[in-house]
Amino acid sequence: MLKIIDLHIHQGNFHLSADAITPEVGINAVLGPSGAGKSTLLSVLAGFDHPQQGRILWQGTDITKLPPSQRPVAMLFQDNNLFPHLTIYRNIALALTHKSRISADQHDRILQALDRVGLAGLADRKPAQLSGGQISRAALARVMLQAQPILLLDEPFAALGPALKQEMLDLLADVAAQSGATVLMVTHDPNDALRIAPKTILVADHKITGAFDTRDLLQNPPPALADYLHGSG
């Protein structure tokens, strides 16, 4: 279980706080107006930023002070998810090993992951030779192999067309369901949340609250969220 307790984040003039958040296993959307701090929340969970105060607990252990690589977290950023100078195969392999030699077992797992995301046969391509959708899939494959119980996604499919985005969301939902991970996904589109996220965490007015039932939240949004969704007046 992931628990966020009494979090206070200060960055210059910006501040954000949370009393107690318990994201659920499965997909949690993270919604809120621009600049509210959704990405910052993910950054803090991953370990790239540090809160002034507060604790992050995983299965009862306090992981607040751990460096990113030691947290049970895998993250997909908005961009720069792959190293452009390495092949997809090598990019994905880095999730399993940092050595140049890949064992037979690891090789199989990599190919399996590629297959799973529909990129079979493209292992030797470099990111520049792939489309946006294919890059997202490759990044997803890598995250799968990292096999961490917590998965953070920062608008990973924002640049894709609607049909492609829905395909990726469905794939994500599938992968998450299979792995049983706790997923936090920042998105700008409430429809994304409705589509695959049973729960939603709200970041607005300098506060993080959640996790709410997505449908309930969107039907009866609090004022800050309502402004964001429908505009004022």
Q: Are 30 and 187 in contact (CB under 8 A)?
A: yes
What tokens does 75 get? 């993250």
Determine contact, residues 30/200, Cβ cutoff 8 Å. yes
By CB under 8 A, name the one of 34, 80, 219, 232 that touches other proteins.
80
| Three-state SS at 194 | helix
Does 146 help bind other proteins (rule: CB under 8 A)? yes
Q: Which of residues 150 and 193 has its CB atom nearest to other proteins in the complex? A: 150
Instruction: State which residue, 73 or 135, has the beta carbon closest to other proteins.
Output: 73
- Minimum CB separation from other proteins for residue 204, in Å? 25
Using CB under 8 A as the binding rule, whether residue 126 contacts other proteins is answered as yes
Does 102 participate in binding other proteins (rule CB under 8 A)? no
70 vs 220, beta carbon nearer other proteins: 70
Question: Which of 12, 13, 121, 128 contacts other proteins by CB under 8 A?
Answer: 128
Q: Is 98 in the site for other proteins (CB under 8 A)?
A: yes
Stretch that binds other proteins, among 55-63, 73-81, 113-121, 219-227 (CB under 8 A): 73-81
Residue that has been written with the tokens 């492609």 in this structure: 164
If 0-12 CB within 10 Å is exposed, 13-18 middle and 19+ buried, where does residue 84 land?
exposed
Both structure tokens of 84? 């452009």
Q: How many residues bind other proteins (CB under 8 A)?
A: 23
**Comparison of 22 and 146: residue with beta carbon closer to other proteins:** 146
Q: Residue from 33, 57, 77, 188 that binds other proteins (CB under 8 A)? A: 77
46 sits near other proteins (criterion: CB under 8 A): yes
Tell me if 224 contacts other proteins by CB under 8 A: no
**216: region left, alpha or beta (phi > 0 left; psi from -120 to 50 alpha):** alpha
Is 94 a binder of other proteins (CB under 8 A)?
yes
Cite the DSSP H helix spans in the chain: 38-46, 88-93, 104-116, 132-146, 162-179, 190-196, 214-219, 223-230
- DSSP 8-class letter at 24: P
Q: Specify whether the CB–CB gap between 7 and 40 falls below 8 A.
A: no
DSSP 155: S
Which residues would be at the binding site for other proteins (CB under 8 A)? 46-48, 67-70, 73-75, 77, 80-81, 83-86, 94-95, 98, 126, 128, 146
